[in-house]
Structure 1
Amino acid sequence: MYFYAARQPILDKEKNLFAYELLFRDSIDNVFPDIDGDEATSKMVEASKFNLGISEFTGNKPAFINFTLETIEQGYPEMLTTDEVVVEILETVKPGKKLLSLCKDLVEKGYTLALDDYIHQPVWGHFYPYIKIIKVDWKDTSIEQIKEIKTAIVKHPHIQLLAEKVETYEEYNQAIELGFELFQGFFFAKPEMVKTKSLSPSQIAMAELLYETSKPELDLTSITSVFERDVSLSYKLLRYANSPIFKRRSEISTIKQALVILGSGELKRFLGLMFATNVNPDKPSELINAAMTRAKFCELVAQDIKAPVDTSIAFLTGLLSLIDAILDESLESILEKLPLAQEIKDALTTKKGVLAALITLVKLIEHANWDKTATVMEKLGLSKEKVVKDYNEAIAWADEQSQLTQD
Structure 2
Amino acid sequence: MNFYAARQPILDRDKALVGYELLFRDGIDNVFPQINGDEATSRLIEGSQFTFGLEELTGNKPAYINFTLETLAKGYASMMGNEEIVVEILETVQPGKRLLAITQELKEKGYTIALDDYHHQNVWRHFFPHIDIIKIDCLTSSKEHILEVIEAIKPYPHIKLLAEKVETHEQYQQAMDLGFTYFQGYFFSKPEMVQSKALPPSELTLAELLYETSTADMDLEKITRVFERDVNLSYKLLRYSNSAMFKRRAEISTIKQALVVLGAGEIKKFLSLLFTAQLSSDKPAELMHLSLTRARFSEVLAEQNPGGVDSGRAFLTSMMSLLDAILDQDMSEVVERLPLATDIKSALSEREGDLGQYINLVEQYEQAKWQDANSTIEALKLDPNKVPDAYHEAISWAKEQMDAIS
Normalising by structure 2, we get a TM-score of 0.95
SS at match of 2:127: helix
Look up the match of 2:163. 163
- Cα deviation for residue 18 of structure 1 reads 0.3
The answer on 1:182 being equivalent to 2:182 is yes
After superposition, the Cα gap between the structure-2 partners of 1:169 and 1:401, relative to the gap in structure 1 and judged at 3 Å, is farther
- Cα deviation for residue 197 of structure 1 reads 5.4
SS at match of 2:11: strand
The answer on 1:111 being equivalent to 2:111 is yes
After superposition, the Cα gap between the structure-2 partners of 1:195 and 1:300, relative to the gap in structure 1 and judged at 3 Å, is same
Identical-residue share of aligned pairs (%):
58
> Contact conserved, 1:238 with 1:253, CA < 8 A, in 2?
no
SS at match of 1:33: helix
Look up the match of 1:135. 135
For residues 156 and 234 of structure 2, the distance between their equivalents in structure 1, rounded to whole angstroms, comes to 54
Name whichever of 221-230 and 72-81 sits farther off.
221-230
- Cα deviation for residue 305 of structure 1 reads 3.6
Look up the match of 1:375. 375
CA deviation string 1:133-164 (max 9, x = no partner): 11000111111111111111112111111000
- Cα deviation for residue 92 of structure 1 reads 0.2
- Cα deviation for residue 25 of structure 1 reads 0.5
- Cα deviation for residue 165 of structure 1 reads 0.8
Q: Which amino acid aligns with 1:138?
A: C
Which residues of structure 2 form unaligned runs of 5+? Answer: none
Which residues of structure 1 form unaligned runs of 5+? Answer: none
For residues 21 and 397 of structure 1, the distance between their equivalents in structure 2, rounded to whole angstroms, comes to 20
Look up the match of 2:295. 295
Look up the match of 1:91. 91
Within 5 Å, which residues of 2 pair with 1:187-226? 187-193=187-193, 198-226=198-226
For residues 209 and 336 of structure 2, the distance between their equivalents in structure 1, rounded to whole angstroms, comes to 16
> Contact conserved, 1:273 with 1:401, CA < 8 A, in 2?
no
For residues 198 and 326 of structure 2, the distance between their equivalents in structure 1, rounded to whole angstroms, comes to 14
SS at match of 1:199: coil
CA deviation string 1:244-295 (max 9, x = no partner): 6657676534322221222233333322431232013122211121111111
Look up the match of 1:331. 331
For residues 80 and 318 of structure 1, the distance between their equivalents in structure 2, rounded to whole angstroms, comes to 34
For residues 57 and 244 of structure 1, the distance between their equivalents in structure 2, rounded to whole angstroms, comes to 26
Within 5 Å, which residues of 2 pair with 1:251-290? 252-290=252-290
Name whichever of 274-283 and 358-367 sits farther off.
274-283
The answer on 1:39 being equivalent to 2:39 is yes
Within 5 Å, which residues of 2 pair with 1:4-23? 4-23=4-23
Q: Which amino acid aligns with 2:20?
A: Y
Q: Which amino acid aligns with 1:41?
A: T
SS at match of 1:75: coil
CA deviation string 1:5-31 (max 9, x = no partner): 110000011111000000110112222
SS at match of 2:34: coil
After superposition, the Cα gap between the structure-2 partners of 1:266 and 1:146, relative to the gap in structure 1 and judged at 3 Å, is same
Name whichever of 49-58 and 334-343 sits farther off.
334-343
For residues 322 and 35 of structure 1, the distance between their equivalents in structure 2, rounded to whole angstroms, comes to 32
Look up the match of 1:173. 173
Look up the match of 1:51. 51
Within 5 Å, which residues of 2 pair with 1:147-158? 147-158=147-158
For residues 365 and 345 of structure 2, the distance between their equivalents in structure 1, rounded to whole angstroms, comes to 23
Normalising by structure 1, we get a TM-score of 0.94
For residues 216 and 393 of structure 2, the distance between their equivalents in structure 1, rounded to whole angstroms, comes to 24
Q: Which amino acid aligns with 1:135?
A: K
Q: Which amino acid aligns with 2:142?
A: S
For residues 270 and 302 of structure 2, the distance between their equivalents in structure 1, rounded to whole angstroms, comes to 21
- Cα deviation for residue 32 of structure 1 reads 0.8
Q: Which amino acid aligns with 2:165?
A: K
For residues 256 and 303 of structure 1, the distance between their equivalents in structure 2, rounded to whole angstroms, comes to 27
Q: Which amino acid aligns with 1:294?
A: R
CA deviation string 1:316-355 (max 9, x = no partner): 1111112122112222222222111111112223323211
Q: Which amino acid aligns with 1:341?
A: A
- Cα deviation for residue 186 of structure 1 reads 2.1
For residues 96 and 196 of structure 2, the distance between their equivalents in structure 1, rounded to whole angstroms, comes to 56
After superposition, the Cα gap between the structure-2 partners of 1:244 and 1:359, relative to the gap in structure 1 and judged at 3 Å, is closer
CA deviation string 1:349-388 (max 9, x = no partner): 3323211111111111111111111122122222222111
Q: Which amino acid aligns with 1:278?
A: Q
Give the length in aligned residue pairs: 406
For residues 152 and 261 of structure 2, the distance between their equivalents in structure 1, rounded to whole angstroms, comes to 63
> Contact conserved, 1:135 with 1:163, CA < 8 A, in 2?
yes
For residues 104 and 21 of structure 1, the distance between their equivalents in structure 2, rounded to whole angstroms, comes to 23
Look up the match of 1:384. 384
Name whichever of 249-258 and 121-130 sits farther off.
249-258
Look up the match of 1:311. 311
After superposition, the Cα gap between the structure-2 partners of 1:249 and 1:106, relative to the gap in structure 1 and judged at 3 Å, is farther
> Contact conserved, 1:294 with 1:319, CA < 8 A, in 2?
yes
For residues 315 and 108 of structure 2, the distance between their equivalents in structure 1, rounded to whole angstroms, comes to 47
